[in-house]
Amino acid sequence: MKEIRIEPVTRLEGHAKIVIFLDDKGNVDDTYFQIVELRGFEEFCKGRPVEELPRILTRLCGVCPWAHHIASAKATDGVFGVEPPPAGKKLREMGYCAHFLESHLEHFYALGPAPDFIVGPKADPKKRNIFGVIEKVGMDIGMTVIKNRAYAVKIEDMLGGKSTHPVYAIPGGVSHPLKEEDRKEIEKMAQELVDFCCFTLDEVVDKIILQNKEYLDLIMSKEIYYHETNYIGLVDDRNRVNFYEGEFRVVDPEGKEIVKFKPEDYLDHIREHVEPWSYLKFPYLKDIGWKGFVEGKDSGIMRAAPLGRLNAADGMATPKAQEAYEKFFEFMGGKPVHNTLTFHWARAIEALYAAERVLELARDPEITDPNVRAIPHPENYRGEGIGGVEAPRGSLIHHYRADENGIVTELNLIVATAFNYAGMHMSINRAAKALIKNGKVDEGILNMVEMAFRAYDPCFSCATHTLPGTMPIRIEIYDHHGELLEVISR
Amino acid sequence: MENCLRSFQDRVLVFGLGNPILGDDGVGIRVVEEMKKRWKGEGVVFETGSVGGLKILDVLSGYDVVVIVDAMAGENPGRIHVLSPDDLEGTIHLTSPHTISLRGAIELGKKLGYKMPEVIRIYGIEVNDIRWRESLSRELEERLPQIVDEIIKDMGGLYACKCEET
């Protein structure tokens, strides 16, 4: 048996490797997608004042700090029994939508679909990056991408104090109100972001990707990138996508609602399965149960993040995003959509929603209200709180317990990437089986296997920073005696 | 002054990278904090952060000289590696699943016409004890003054001359 290993090496949030076992004929026998996390964060948090967690949790990850910041603030609202005033909630949501924009745009243009589809999935890996994208689309568009990403970062910075690790949301609201001059600046940037996100959908998704038959065939391929699963996402009271608040809605592979529940009730509906070969757990629907890595409505596996959210919702809460949502499902032939590579398209639609929502909030007369925080009162103290949000990479739940002095005694996190872990595992398996035949493996084929999980924009292996530069990807090929035949480094 | 890396008219950033609650991973931050305490003059900006990818571009652009201090995985805790962006050439085309490399960010800045530093010096400090903890390992904590001294010395005039002037 031959073993192929795709191993990104990093040292912070943990690392992941893909191991593909081939049978004697050189076809794929099985695959494993292992995640090795740095454990012990819960222990690190115990014994600390619970109000410090929204600030500490941002250090858990350099890629999703705002998601942890907001989920944590909501959990501490619960611990202190305090409800933020409207302006406090809206400002949290505004900063959070700016974070979605930064995250989604960076993934779209620098890492995910743009390098794979603008440059080409089998193109020279030296060109399959943001430099190759700029070469293809031109410097002007490259500059526009960077400028708009910078707008999103600036909004995060203006609200959060600092963009990467915000010090903004606190129990009961946010730390400071929005000044009128800042509101005006945000409104102006948000308008440009809306235009840019429309451009992304019209010019990149539609004209460059969907109108290329080779790419479209890949996207539509049921053999390589396709799973009929359940989907989960947070929705508002009209079942529209919401990143900040609402109820988690789960739909089956036919789009029928299975359950809708408040984040506070997550333990009644979500359980986590453990496999001996990975540290990260696999969340599943409790009522259906864990049935292994299988798809279909009899499996408890759900997929989350952009495609999961669009499938789980009935629409988007802003007009242009709603238009894009309708076009997406019409083009794909109905709802839900099961094609894994359409995570990218869904991500672009969500970026448009985030931009429209920032603009909407910037024009809301209440947004500059100085009353941005409700002060917690001891008589309302509950000692337990659950914060549920949608992170760019999926549903995210923080659950805290604190003693009578407000000191953390218990902490449970179900992180966004975990909700898609089972989906990613199955996607790699299917892509590997479809693409690797008779022992023939080359860089282009392995990139297409990686595309199966890159669509989910996983963040387990994203370092807060790395030196020297980034995570190398090592591919090791072993023969059936366990002897190393070849090493490919990229 | 002849040993100075650059003229003091330049905008100089000394940037400590790391995660301050991840044990020895935060050594770059601790080193730069110590350097800041010892810096008596003006003209050098000392900053710390836990950033990567395109955010590095935001941090570095606008400066003439940038010194980065960061942890790097190794077997000899405290051992210092002096690197330049050229040493990271091999990583320019690599991307992690979510972000671009340091070298990639520098090159991207240049390509897009940002004012990128003319001089970038990187100090990588080997660490092998990374876990959730606010402090450095005892071994690295004890070596910290020596590490700071060595980096200051290597930086030559950029830092030492200013100390002498004040």
pLDDT, tens digit, 9 for 90 and up, residues A197-224? 999 999 999 999 999 999 999 999 999 9
Q: Nearest by CB to A164, from B49, B73, B108: name it.
A: B49
Question: Given this model, what pLDDT does residue A478 score?
Answer: 53
DSSP β-ladder status, A2-8 and A14-22? antiparallel
Question: Given this model, what pLDDT does residue A483 score?
Answer: 57
How far from the centroid of its chain's Cα atoms is residue A348's Cα? 13
Distance from CA of B75 to the nearest CA of A (A): 14
Burial class (CB in 10 A: 0-12, 13-18, 19+), B9: exposed
Measured CA to CA, the distance from residue A56 to residue A54 in angstroms comes to: 6
User: What residue of A is the nearest CA neighbor of B72?
Assistant: A467
Query: Residue B71 in 3-state DSSP?
Result: strand
pLDDT band at B22 (very low <50, low <70, confident <90, very high): confident
Query: Cβ contacts (< 8 Å) between A56 and chain B: which residues?
Result: 21
Measured CA to CA, the distance from residue A70 to residue B103 in angstroms comes to: 31
Query: Cβ contacts (< 8 Å) between B91 and chain A: which residues?
Result: 468-470, 472
Question: Given this model, what pLDDT does residue B100 score?
Answer: 67
Which CATH fold topology does A83-226+339-374 show?
A: Cytochrome-c3 Hydrogenase; chain B (1.10.645)
Q: Nearest by CB to A462, from B93, B99, B107: name it.
A: B99
- Phi, psi for A309 (deg, rounded to 5): -65, -45
**pTM score, two decimals?**
0.90
Q: Which domains does chain B have, with CATH numbers?
A: 12-165 (3.40.50.1450)
Distance from CA of A187 to the nearest CA of B (A): 22
Cα dist from B94 to A35, A87, A426, A467, whole Å: 20, 42, 25, 12
Question: Given this model, what pLDDT does residue A365 score?
Answer: 98
Strands (E), A23-161: 28-37
Query: Cβ contacts (< 8 Å) between A413 and chain B: which residues?
Result: none
Distance from CA of A104 to the nearest CA of B (A): 10
A12 in Cβ contact with A64 (< 8 Å): no
C-beta atoms of B96 and A470 within 8 A: yes
pLDDT, tens digit, 9 for 90 and up, residues A119-156? 888 888 778 778 888 888 888 888 899 899 999 999 99
Query: Cβ contacts (< 8 Å) between A127 and chain B: which residues?
Result: 93
B22 in Cβ contact with A12 (< 8 Å): yes
Element (H, E) at A218: helix A213-220
Q: What is the mean pLDDT of residues B7-35?
A: 86
Cα dist from B69 to A173, A191, B14, whole Å: 36, 38, 8
Query: Cβ contacts (< 8 Å) between A135 and chain B: which residues?
Result: none
Question: Given this model, what pLDDT does residue A473 score?
Answer: 42
Looking at per-residue confidence, does A369 or A58 come out higher?
A369
pLDDT, tens digit, 9 for 90 and up, residues B125-146? 988 888 889 999 999 999 999 9
Q: Nearest by CB to B87, from A165, A458, A468: name it.
A: A468
C-beta atoms of A469 and B99 within 8 A: no
pLDDT score of B32 more than 90: yes
User: What residue of B is the nearest CA neighbor of A140?
Assistant: B112
Distance from CA of A465 to the nearest CA of B (A): 4
C-beta atoms of A469 and B101 within 8 A: yes
Question: Given this model, what pLDDT does residue A451 score?
Answer: 86
Nearest Cα residue to A7 out of A429, B95, A18? A18
Q: What is the mean pLDDT of residues B96-119?
A: 77
A305 torsion bin: left (phi>0), alpha (psi -120 to 50), beta (else): left
User: What residue of A is the nearest CA neighbor of B114?
Assistant: A143
Q: What is the mean pLDDT of residues B39-51?
A: 82
Which of A33, A42, A466, A489 has the highest number of chain B CBs within 10 A, making it the mutation to test binding with B?
A466
A171 in Cβ contact with A80 (< 8 Å): yes
A241 in Cβ contact with A213 (< 8 Å): no
Looking at per-residue confidence, does A14 or A293 come out higher?
A293
Distance from CA of A335 to the nearest CA of B (A): 28
Query: Residue A262 in 3-state DSSP?
Result: coil
Q: Nearest by CB to A164, from B55, B91, B108: name it.
A: B55
pLDDT score of A13 more than 90: no
Question: Given this model, what pLDDT does residue B84 score?
Answer: 81
Average pLDDT, chain B: 79
Beta bridge partners of A273: A282
Query: Cβ contacts (< 8 Å) between A142 and chain B: which residues?
Result: 111-112
Query: Quick count: other Cβ atoms within 10 Å of Cβ A489?
Result: 11
Of A1-10, A72-81, A244-253, the range with the lowest mean pLDDT is A1-10
C-beta atoms of A470 and B94 within 8 A: yes
pLDDT score of A8 more than 50: no
C-beta atoms of B96 and A466 within 8 A: yes
Distance from CA of B93 to the nearest CA of A (A): 5
Q: What is the mean pLDDT of residues B15-32?
A: 91
Of A173-187, A376-390, B12-26, the range with the lowest mean pLDDT is B12-26
Question: Given this model, what pLDDT does residue B163 score?
Answer: 44
Which of A42, A459, A467 has the highest number of chain B CBs within 10 A, making it the mutation to test binding with B?
A467
C-beta atoms of B102 and A468 within 8 A: yes
Written as one string, the DSSP assignment of A271-296 is EEE--TT-SS-EEEETTT---SS--S
pLDDT score of A23 more than 70: yes
C-beta atoms of B108 and A131 within 8 A: yes
A463 in Cβ contact with B96 (< 8 Å): yes
Distance from CA of A229 to the nearest CA of B (A): 24
Question: Given this model, what pLDDT does residue A64 score?
Answer: 82
Domains of chain A, residue spans: 2-38+422-489, 83-226+339-374
Of A294-303, A311-320, A323-332, B115-124, the range with the lowest mean pLDDT is B115-124
C-beta atoms of A463 and B50 within 8 A: no
C-beta atoms of A459 and B99 within 8 A: no
pLDDT band at A10 (very low <50, low <70, confident <90, very high): very low
Question: Given this model, what pLDDT does residue A462 score?
Answer: 32
Question: Given this model, what pLDDT does residue A489 score?
Answer: 46
Question: Given this model, what pLDDT does residue A377 score?
Answer: 96
B52 in Cβ contact with B99 (< 8 Å): yes
pLDDT score of A465 more than 80: no
pLDDT score of A38 more than 80: no
Q: Nearest by CB to B93, from A126, A164, A458: name it.
A: A126
Question: Given this model, what pLDDT does residue A9 score?
Answer: 30
A459 in Cβ contact with A13 (< 8 Å): yes
Of A334-343, A385-394, B117-126, the range with the lowest mean pLDDT is B117-126
Question: Given this model, what pLDDT does residue B157 score?
Answer: 56
Cα dist from B91 to A49, A469, A473, B66, whole Å: 41, 6, 10, 19
- Phi, psi for A84 (deg, rounded to 5): -60, 145
Nearest Cα residue to A50 out of A376, A394, A389? A376
Which of the 8 DSSP states describes residue B114? -
C-beta atoms of B50 and A143 within 8 A: no
Question: Given this model, what pLDDT does residue A15 score?
Answer: 55
Cα-based angle B82, B85, B87 (whole degrees, multiple of 5): 65
Looking at per-residue confidence, does A236 or A441 come out higher?
A236
Question: Given this model, what pLDDT does residue B50 score?
Answer: 79
Residue type, B158: L
Distance from CA of B164 to the nearest CA of A (A): 32
Query: Cβ contacts (< 8 Å) between A165 and chain B: which residues?
Result: 50
Q: What is the ipTM of this complex?
A: 0.80
Question: Given this model, what pLDDT does residue B150 score?
Answer: 92
User: What residue of B is the nearest CA neighbor of A132?
Assistant: B93
Question: Given this model, what pLDDT does residue A101 score?
Answer: 97
